[in-house]
Amino acid sequence: MRIELAVNGTLMRGLELNHNLLELGGVFVEETLTAPLYRLWSIYDQHPAMQRCSSGGQISLEIWDIDSSNIGELLSREPAGLSVGKILLADNREVLGILGESYLCEGKQEITHFGGWRKYKGLR
């Protein structure tokens, strides 16, 4: 069974870990935004971590189509502290996506106001 997976950092097209999605048969679907309920942190400027909060901003994402049997392998290739959870999109769809655990974000630089990892890093 194939599912849609939202990614918000280094798994996005052209970035450092995108090859992990491609190697597992991921197919790019679209660029979109979260509902305005998310906050984003830079984890040592190496990757972002996103969390849903009672208030926040809209974060840009990519939606990928991937076989659900590959989610575990994909997650094992992600940095520690990232997990899979449900993400509410701006159009009210709910999809699985990559989120950051609380401990990972504590004391890190919040970058929500940039609206996404690419903008924070000055990419595209």
Q: Which among 106, 102, 74, 69 is positioned nearest to 9, based on CA atoms?
A: 74
Q: Which among 29, 38, 56, 19 is positioned nearest to 100, based on CA atoms?
A: 38
List, for residues 32-44, the tens digit of each pLDDT value. 999 999 999 999 9
In percent, the amount of the chain with pLDDT more than 70 equals 99
List, for residues 38-85, the tens digit of each pLDDT value. 999 999 999 999 999 998 999 999 999 999 999 999 999 999 999 999
Q: Which fold has domain 2-121?
A: Hypothetical upf0131 protein ytfp (3.10.490)
How far is 64 from 66, CA to CA, in rounded Å?
Answer: 6
List, for residues 80-118, the tens digit of each pLDDT value. 999 999 999 999 999 999 999 999 999 999 999 999 999
pLDDT given at position 124: 60
Q: Which residue has the tokens 């509410």?
A: 88
